[in-house]
Structure 1
Amino acid sequence: MKEATSVVNASAVAAKKKLSSQFFKKGIIIGLLSGLTYGMFSAFLTLGMSKGVWADWYGDNTGGLSTFVIVFIVGALGSAVNDICSAVWALLNVGLKGKLGDFFRTINTTPGRMIMLAALLGGPIANVSYVVGIQLAGSMAIPITALCPAIGAILGRVLYKQELNKRMTVGIIICVAASVMIGSVGIGGDAADSVVLGLIIAFVAALGWGFEGVIAGYGSAMIDTEIGITIRQVTSGLANLLILLPILGMVEGNAMLSFKLAGQAFTSGPAMIWFAVSGFVAFISFMWWYKANSMTGAALGMATNGTYSFFGPLSCWLLLGVIGGMEGWGLSVIEWTAAIMMAAGILVIAMNPMDLFNKKEEILNEAA
């Protein structure tokens, strides 16, 4: 009787380990897909901002718009249109799943307000800086923005006294070295001033996302991830459209200019097709990132999502450069190397890379 019970217990333990390993592997795959789709979002967004009325704004027919308007207001408008489209997809998702009432109830809770605060840092500040950085510096801006996990680790240490061990420090050094490599290319003698400014603005995006990650970690742990993503995208889209853009318009001396340009943007059919795609891909990327965090832990989820530092330039090169025939989207050997280094540095910050090999050995032993 005891022997039979032992066999049953051993079988149950083995089955549990097998399910855990499968769950872990699936989480890694979903996390990598979140990084891939975020890279694709970057390419689709840039493509949308090259069509319709956007082609006029960034082309020769600017309609008398100043450099400030084209760089900052139009850049912020691109982020706003994308986030509004992404928010619509998120609302459709929770609506179809019967969670719309939960969405409105959660907004007025402490976790909901924390995510709204994180969205303000990640949307009007980081997302806009990300878009403007890409418009000014091209694909080089993407790995710079991927410094956010390193910044998040430092902020976690300063604000919450979280661990910052030697391994994480090495990962931060790798990320910084990669950013210096990219910066050395962008700040070279032949580089345009816009590239240098784009890299600086991209670093602002990294700062914004670093702060967002630290703050959102608290709120997202206590509510449904799909609800949290919806709160994030709705807050970001509305804040960009109704707060940031009018402020930038007032800086330019015409607060209503932003709304005029927004009307033209939302009615530009050739561009809105691609904004709908970029908004959907952005929504999927955030959803998969949250899901990966819940399946593998936030550290590994951060690492796998951070691979957009490689997938972003790759997607832009393929979609915009190779397929679209647009110039300026190729990367040098140094830039590709730095992008891969950045992804590796993010992995080192998030976890001990040897754990992946240990996990693989465990899975092989269980299969045997």
Structure 2
Amino acid sequence: MKEVSKAANAKAIAAKKRLTSSFFKKGISLALFSGLTYGMYTAFLTMGMTKGIWGDWYGANTAGLSAFALAYVVAALGNAINDSCSAIWAIIYSIVKGKFGDFLRCLNSKPGRVMILAALIGGPIAGTAYVVALQMAGSIVVPISALCPAIAAILGKILFKQKLDKRMAFGILICVCASFLIGSTGFKGDASAKTFIGFGIAIVAALGWGFEGCVAGYGTSMIDYEIGICIRQVTSGIANLFIVVPVLAMLSGKIGLSFTLATQAFTSGPAMMWFILSGFFSVVTFMTWYAGNSMCGAGLGTACNGTYSFFGPLFCLLLLGVYGGMPGWSLPSVAWIGAVIMMFGILIISMNPLDLFRKKDDIGGSTDEAA
């Protein structure tokens, strides 16, 4: 009888390990997918900010805008419009899924407040910094902002006692080095001071998203990530449009500038079609990132999401360079090498590469133990 009981317990434990491993792997898959869609969001957003009225602002006809307004107010407005479109997509999705009532109820809950905090850090601060950096230095700043995995992993370990062993830390280090390798292609002899400032602002984005990834992963472990992303996008859209842009306009010396620019931007049809697309992929990427973080941990989830350091420049090349025929979006060979190195780093974070050379039975056991 005892032997039967032990056998049953062993089977139950094995089944639990398989379920845990499957849950863990699904989290990695979602986080990796978020990196892909983040690259698409980046490309569509950047394309939108070259069309319609945006082409006038950044072209020869600056509409009398100061250098400060062009560098910060207009860039922040681009982030605000993207997040506003994204918020509308998130609300529509919650209504279709029958979760809009849950979204409203969660706003004043503890997890809801955690998500609002994450949104304020990741949206108005990190998101605006990311768009400003893109406008100042181009897509080469994308890998620099991908330093957020290391930040998220460290904060996850400190705040929430999430797993961070030596193998995972080594993998994160590889990802960070790969990001710098890709980013180094922007430091050429003709790099301007504007490029270097863009790199510095991209680091601000990395800090903000690292904190957001850590906090949001904690928040979505308590509430449905689909509700969490709705809270995130609505909060970010409102804060960007009604706080960040007006404050920056006031600092530029024209308090009414934000309303004027926002009206012109929202009524610019050629640009808005791209912002609608960027808003959609923004919802997708943050939703899968949040879900992945809650399933496999902030450090690993954000590291997998960090593949956008390659997909961002790649989709910018395809959309703006190839499709749009715009110069300056080609990827140097070093960027491709850095991408391969980053993929290897992510593999080390997610599993022991030696498992690939072990017998099939051993792989399942070692993977379960790692999970």
* TM > 0.5: yes
**Deviations 1:78-122 (Å, cap 9, x if unpaired)?**
110000001101001111222111111111111111111111110
Aligned length: 365
Deviation string for 1:163-187 (max 9, x for gaps)?
Answer: 6543344334334433443454323
CA distance change for structure 1 residues 357 and 28 in 2, over 3 Å: closer, same or farther?
Answer: farther
Aligned positions of 1:236-315 closer than 5 A: 236-294=236-294, 296=296, 298-315=298-315
TM-score under structure 2 normalisation? 0.86
Matched, 1:69 2:76: no
Residue in 1 aligned with 2:353?
A: 354
Alpha-carbon spacing, 1:362–1:278, altered in 2? closer, same or farther (3 Å): farther
- Over residues 62-83 of structure 1, what are the superposed CA-to-partner deviations in whole Å (9 max), with x where a residue is unaligned? 1111111111111111110000
Q: Secondary structure at the residue paired with 1:255?
A: coil
**Residues 339 and 106 of structure 1: CA distance in aligned 2, closer, same or farther (over 3 Å):** same
User: Which stretch shows the higher mean deviation, 327-336 or 40-49?
Assistant: 327-336
Cα distance, 1:333 vs structure 2:
1.6
CA distance in 1, matches of 2:51, 2:359: 46
Task: Give a deviation string over 1:233-273, Cα, whole Å, max 9, x none.
Answer: 00111111111111111111112101210111111111111
Structure 1 pair 277–20 and aligned structure 2 pair: CA distance change class (3 A) = same
| Unpaired segments ≥5 residues, structure 1 | none
Task: Quote the Cα distance in structure 2 between the aligned partners of 1:185 and 1:352.
Answer: 30
* Residues 1:337 and 2:337 are matched in the alignment: yes
Equivalent pairs: percent with the same residue? 59
- Checking the alignment, whether the CA contact within 8 Å between 1:81 and 1:237 is kept in structure 2 is yes
Distance 1:214 1:289, change over 3 A: closer
The one-letter code matched in structure 2 to 1:43 is A
Shift in Å at residue 8 of structure 1? Answer: 10
Q: CA deviation at 1:355?
A: 7.7
Structure 1 residue 15 displacement after superposition: 8.4
Q: Which residue of 1 aligns with 2:123?
A: 123
> Where do 1:113-152 residues align within 5 Å?
113-152=113-152
- Residue 149 of structure 1 aligns with an amino acid whose one-letter code is P
Does the CA-based 8 Å contact 2:310-2:335 persist in structure 1?
no
| Number of the residue aligned with 1:323 | 323
Contact 1:146/1:342 (8 A) holds in 2? no
Secondary structure of the 2:138 match is helix
My pick for the range that moved more, 311-320 or 18-27, is 18-27
| Alpha-carbon spacing, 1:120–1:358, altered in 2? closer, same or farther (3 Å) | farther
Contact 1:306–1:343, Cα closer than 8 Å, also in 2:
no
Retained in 2: the 8 A contact 1:39–1:315? yes
Structure 1 stretch displaced more, 57-66 or 97-106 = 97-106
1:22 Cα offset (Å) = 6.5
User: Are the equivalent residues in 2 in contact too, given 1:91–1:230 (CA < 8 A)?
Assistant: yes
Q: Please, what is the CA RMSD of the aligned residues?
A: 3.2
Determine the C-alpha separation between the residues in 2 that align with 1:322 and 1:177: 28
In the TM superposition, residue 212 of structure 1 has moved relative to its aligned partner by 1.2
Cα-to-partner distance string for 1:303-353 (whole Å, 9 max, x where unaligned): 3322212211111111111121111111212233234434544554x4444
Contact 1:139–1:312 (8 Å) recurs in 2: yes
CA–CA distance in 2 between the matches of 1:12 and 1:166? 30
Matched ranges for 1:34-45 at <5 A = 34-45=34-45
Tell me, in whole angstroms, the C-alpha distance in 1 between the residues paired with 2:321 and 2:254.
36
Residue 166 of structure 2 corresponds to which residue in structure 1? Answer: 166
SS of residue paired to 2:256: helix
Distance 1:19 1:284 in 2: 25
Distance 1:22 1:109, change over 3 A: closer
* Contact in 2 for aligned 1:150/1:346 (Cα 8 Å): no
Structure 2: stretches of 5+ with no match in the other structure? 366-371
TM superposition shift of 1:199: 1.2
TM-superposed CA distance for 1:214, in Å, is 2.3
